[in-house]
Amino acid sequence: MGIVEEAHNVNIVGSGTQVIVLAHGFLTDQSVWKHLLPHLVDDCKVVLYDNMGAGTTNPDFFDFERYSTLEGFVYDLLAILEEFQLSSCIFVGHSVSAIVGAIASIMRPDVFSKLVLISASPRYAFIYCHKGCCI
């Protein structure tokens, strides 16, 4: 297991040549896709991951400076796609991940074939409490 895979609880399920990346929003984790997943796995390879600080991500990988802007999350997404050599994916992003996917697709348009952006918000303010949570 690579560092990126371990840090973000990356799960790849299903079969097929079409790759779909499902990225969750704030205050959720990859389990938010549990009802959609059964409808995709027969025809597609589905990539699920947790944004740093969500789900059961390892807190040892959390860096306040890196995740004080969306850029840290963008670089994480691109690292996941690179580590698993995924290209031409359909990216489905909810909330903050919708914006992360949009920025990532501008930086690396070669790895995205389509974007599905659900409840994307145009701006985020990050405020961290002393325990590492964000609000």
Q: 26-72, pLDDT tens digit by residue?
A: 889 999 999 999 999 999 999 999 998 888 888 888 888 888 889 99
Q: How many residues does the chain have?
A: 135
Comparing 75 with 121, which gets the higher pLDDT? 75
Closest-CA residue to 80 (of 35, 116, 59, 50)? 50
**Phi and psi angles of residue 100, each rounded to the nearest 5 degrees, phi first:** -60, -45
Look at residue 131 and tell me whether its pLDDT is greater than 50: no
Instruction: Look up the pTM and report it.
Output: 0.87
SS3 134: strand
For residue 6, name the pLDDT band (cuts at 50, 70, 90).
confident
